[in-house]
Amino acid sequence: MIVFASGNVTDALALLKFRESISIDPYGILLSWNTSTHFCNWHGITCHLIHQRVTELNLQGYKLKGSISPHIGNLSYMRIFNLNHNNFYGNIPQELGRLSQLQFIFVDIIHWKEKFLQT
C-alpha cells in the first residue's frame, strides 16, 4: 500500500506513473519524487496554494529520456506542461486533451507517430 504525506492522491499517483515512464534521469532530478515527501515539494512541480493540486510540471532541460505516461491526463488543474529539451519519444498522450486548465504545453518529441489532439 502506498501512503502519501498528504494531498491529492490522484495527482500523486499520476506523477509517480509519469516517473515510472522515465528510463534515464542523468541528474537525479526525480529522486525527490517519492511518497515520503508531499508531491508539491517535488522538483519541477508547482501546486495551487489552497487546493494543493498540480498547476505546473516543469522539467525543462534535464536530459530525461522516456515516454510520456497517459496518467499525466489526470492532473486536472495543470496549466503549464514543460518538458522541452529532453529526449521523449512516442506519442503525446491523448489524455492531455482532457486538461481544460492547460494553457501552455512545451514538449520536444523524438519520432512523432501521431498528431496531438487530432480533430
List the one residue out of 92, 17, 11, 74 whose CA is nearest residue 45.
Answer: 11
The CATH number for 92's domain is 3.80.10.10
pTM: 0.84
Over 51-85, what HEC string results? CCCEEEEECCCCCCEECCCHHHHHCCCCCEEECCC
pLDDT digits (tens, 9 = 90+) for 34-58: 988 999 999 999 999 988 999 999 9
Residues forming beta bridges with residue 58, ordered by sequence position: 82
When divided into structural domains, the chain yields a total of 1
The pLDDT of residue 112 is 47
> At residue 6, does pLDDT exceed 60?
no
Q: Could you give the CA distance from residue 37 to residue 42 in angstroms, rounded to a whole number? A: 7
For residue 117, is it within any domain? no
Residues forming beta bridges with residue 57, ordered by sequence position: 45, 81
For residue 116, is it within any domain? no
* Torsions phi, psi for 35 (to 5 deg): -75, -10
- The range of the structural domain enclosing residue 82 comes to 9-110
